[in-house]
Amino acid sequence: MIKTFSTATVILNHGSQDPAGILEFKKAFKIFESLTPQSVITYGFLELTCPTISDALTYVTQFPINSIILIQSFLLHATHTQNDIPGILKHFSHQHPNYPITLSKPLCSNPRIPELIQSAIEAVEHTSQTPIPRENTHVIFVGRGTSVPSANSWSFEVAEQLQSIMKFGRISVAFAASVDPKLQKALEQAFSAKPQRIIIVPLLLWSGALYQQIIHRTQLGQTQQPDIEWLCTPPLGTHPLLPHIWQDLARAITE
């Protein structure tokens, strides 16, 4: 007797040329698999890496399924989630009209993402051997920067939300490219406040060229400002909460 799976789940990820970033994603995916046993689950990348999203969709059609759930493992609702992914799905649906597809919202829609960021900050604080009050700590969120204003605004909203909870001297927001304020400007403002500690929080899911640039800038800051303790959180996707947030997004579709 052929076993019928009602639904297949596909995690959609951006893709990277950095092997470390791909390994981080695959570790998170393995955890997600363990949370949803006896199901058809796979993943696909938008660009730079295989399997592609189209490859993943074609793969799940080999199983006796009735529908497909797509989980968008993209932090922001920007160009990729607004234009690129819908375009891929439109093409697939035209070729496979018998497979209803439901697309989740991006990660920023989930209320546990601020919780994940807070936990990442707390974890990096605990790595320090120096007791420094939070009021003497300046936190800088560093986003990628996008042409979609509402996506950039999300970073400021989360910064304000976490500042009300964590009570740092300040949480500011900067962007690595395309959008102001740039990281260098945020650092200059932080220096003027003379904090004892600066925590850099890259709003990035995985390791890659941009994350390494931010790490390099953090290390350079430590050299230039040795009286300040510099800390940097790891990529957000490495946090153990992420697979559970993927699960939340899937449940929001099925329940």
- Same-domain pairing of 105 and 139: no
Q: Are 107 and 74 in contact (CB under 8 A)?
A: yes
Q: What percent of the chain has a predicted confidence (pLDDT) above 90?
A: 89
pLDDT for the residue numbered 163: 98
The enclosing domain of 217 has a CATH number of: 3.40.50.1400
pLDDT for the residue numbered 6: 86
- Same-domain pairing of 225 and 191: yes
- Same-domain pairing of 33 and 129: no
- Same-domain pairing of 167 and 230: yes
Whole-number average pLDDT of the chain: 94
pLDDT for the residue numbered 29: 98
- Same-domain pairing of 105 and 116: no
What is the distance between the alpha carbons of residues 105 and 253, in angstroms, rounded to a whole number?
A: 10
What is the distance between the alpha carbons of residues 131 and 244, in angstroms, rounded to a whole number?
A: 32
Q: What is the per-residue pLDDT across 171-207, written as a single tens digit (0 to 9) for each?
A: 999 998 889 999 999 999 999 999 999 999 999 999 9
- Same-domain pairing of 190 and 244: no
Model confidence at 2: pLDDT above 80? no
Q: Report DSSP state, residue 78.
A: S
Lowest mean pLDDT among 1-5, 7-11, 36-40, 164-168: 1-5
Model confidence at 4: pLDDT above 70? no
Mean local confidence (pLDDT), 132-142: 98
- Same-domain pairing of 50 and 117: no
- Same-domain pairing of 53 and 78: yes
What is the pTM assigned to this prediction?
0.94
pLDDT confidence bin for 3, thresholds 50/70/90: low
- Same-domain pairing of 222 and 128: yes
Report the first-to-last Cα separation within the chain, whole angstroms. 28
Number of domain units in the chain = 2
Burial of 129 (0-12, 13-18, 19+ CB in 10 A): exposed
- Same-domain pairing of 191 and 93: no
Q: 156 lies in which domain range?
A: 112-235
- Same-domain pairing of 85 and 130: no
pLDDT for the residue numbered 1: 39
Give me the half-sphere count of Cα atoms (radius 13 Å) on the Cβ side of residue 219.
6
- Same-domain pairing of 126 and 230: yes
